[in-house]
């Protein structure tokens, strides 16, 4: 990965462009930065600065690599995810993604060709979505206290209705038929539930399965039997909620939840509800995890590329910084991850800054970096 960099190639940066690791730090992690489109580069630049600050404090080093995938790259080159780029990404310890998408790219091109392909190829079978209400953030429901809203949604990330099974016939006629099939395997469900159960054991010991077993009787039965078995093995308390009831309780009585495990579609929906309850998508981090560590995991804010405010200096980097905290936790740097979480909380408690530059300044000040 030296010499001339071709479009789409993963390239080393800075002092490590020769491929050498830093010698002054006790630990080095290779992280590929995919800034993407819209506000993605703006918010992840702030996240990178914060990561470098806590790395210096805790005596480790990030060997940053870069890669220009996304909507702009697709429009310029016609490439979504070249095989050679994918193979380079596999060499990273983690990937920090900004956001992808531009109005000029048709729907589905990047979603399926880049994001869903990465989840499949890297076996990112857990989507982790924490929802935590922080001081200084207005709750969507006024009666909620900070302690009421602090739960984590574990979403199965490679199966279900997003597996791509289905099709259509007689397209464009009055006889058109379209199908989408939900694929749920014993192995896929079990490994997702196992991750959620162990996460619950490390927190409160409470796990909630969210599904729709009264209607989706085949898939729902598989999920319920596996959840009951795994929870018993791990010694955690299992409860169950239909997805519609879970939406009601997340709004009306969110403290009943701590760790929620659910399938791909339901997780996609209720995780955004969790974000809305805790300040909005701008504060929502996420991790697409390979818990078995056979490949890198991907960490990204969930707010999207927001092209309407790109370049205006108004993007909120909180979600990106919190996602970087999830990344550091995954890499084993728990103390550094806690520092990022505390810095975001402190800045919010003092009043959320109005610009990306002020966010950067105040976050770095909280992390002990002088102006």
244 in active site: yes
Dihedral in degrees, nearest 10, Cα atoms 256, 259, 261, 264:
100
Helices 318-330, 334-349: crossing angle, 10 deg rounding: 160
Cα gap 51→358, rounded to integer Å: 17
Instruction: Give 14: exposed, middle or buried? Use CB within 10 Å, 0-12, 13-18, 19+.
Output: exposed
365 contacts 49 by C-beta, under 8 angstroms: no
Between strands 297-299 and 287-289, the pairing is: antiparallel
Question: Is 63 a catalytic site residue?
Answer: no
Annotated active-site residue 268? The verdict is yes
* Residue 37 · residue 101 · CB < 8 Å: yes
Residues, the chain: 371
- Check 74, 162, 195, 283 and give the catalytic one: 162
> Read out DSSP for 219-247?
HHHHHHHHHHHHHHHHT-EEEEEEHHHHH
The catalytic residue among 93, 150, 212, 339 is 212
Active site annotation includes 252:
no
Active-site residue, selected from the candidate residues 123, 148, 234, 272: 272
Q: Is 272 a catalytic residue?
A: yes
8 A C-beta contact, residue 157 and residue 119: yes
Q: Which of 37, 258, 268, 339 is catalytic?
A: 268
Catalytic residue among 244, 252, 253, 308: 244
Host H or E run for residue 126: strand 126-132
Catalogue the active-site residues.
162, 212, 244, 268, 272
């Amino acid at each position: 990965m030296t010499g001339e960099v071709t479009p789409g190639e993963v390239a080393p940066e800075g002092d490590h462009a020769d491929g050498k690791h830093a010698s002054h730090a006790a630990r080095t992690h290779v992280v590929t930065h995919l800034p993407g489109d819209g506000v993605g580069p703006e918010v992840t630049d702030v996240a990178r600065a914060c990561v470098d600050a806590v790395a210096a404090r805790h005596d480790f080093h990030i060997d940053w690599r870069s890669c220009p995938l996304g909507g702009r790259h697709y429009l310029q080159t016609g490439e979504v995810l070249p095989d050679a780029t994918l193979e380079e990404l596999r060499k990273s310890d983690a990937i920090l993604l900004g956001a992808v998408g531009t109005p000029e790219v048709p729907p589905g091109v990047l979603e399926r060709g880049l994001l869903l392909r990465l989840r499949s190829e890297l076996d990112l079978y857990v989507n982790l979505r924490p929802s935590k209400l922080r001081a200084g953030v207005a709750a969507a429901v006024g009666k909620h206290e900070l302690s009421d809203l602090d739960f984590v949604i574990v979403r199965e990330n490679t199966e279900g209705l997003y597996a791509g099974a289905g099709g259509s016939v007689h397209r464009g006629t009055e006889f058109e038929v379209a199908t989408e099939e939900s694929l749920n395997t014993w192995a896929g469900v079990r490994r997702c539930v196992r991750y959620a159960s162990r996460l619950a054991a490390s927190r409160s010991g409470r796990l909630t399965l969210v599904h729709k077993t009264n209607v989706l009787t085949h898939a729902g039965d598989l999920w319920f039997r596996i959840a009951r078995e795994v929870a018993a093995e791990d010694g955690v308390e299992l409860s169950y909620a239909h997805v519609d009831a879970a939406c009601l309780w997340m709004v009306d009585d969110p403290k009943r939840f701590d760790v929620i495990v659910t399938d791909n579609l339901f997780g996609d929906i209720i995780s955004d509800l969790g974000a809305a309850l805790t300040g909005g998508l701008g504060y929502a981090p996420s991790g697409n995890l390979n818990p078995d560590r056979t490949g890198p995991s991907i960490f990204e804010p969930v707010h999207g590329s927001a092209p309407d405010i790109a370049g205006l200096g108004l993007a909120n980097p909180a979600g990106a910084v919190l996602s970087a905290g999830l990344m550091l936790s995954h890499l084993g740097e728990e103390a550094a991850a806690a520092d990022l979480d505390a810095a975001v909380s402190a800045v919010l408690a003092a009043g959320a800054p109005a610009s990306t530059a002020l966010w950067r300044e105040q976050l770095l000040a909280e992390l002990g970096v002088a102006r």
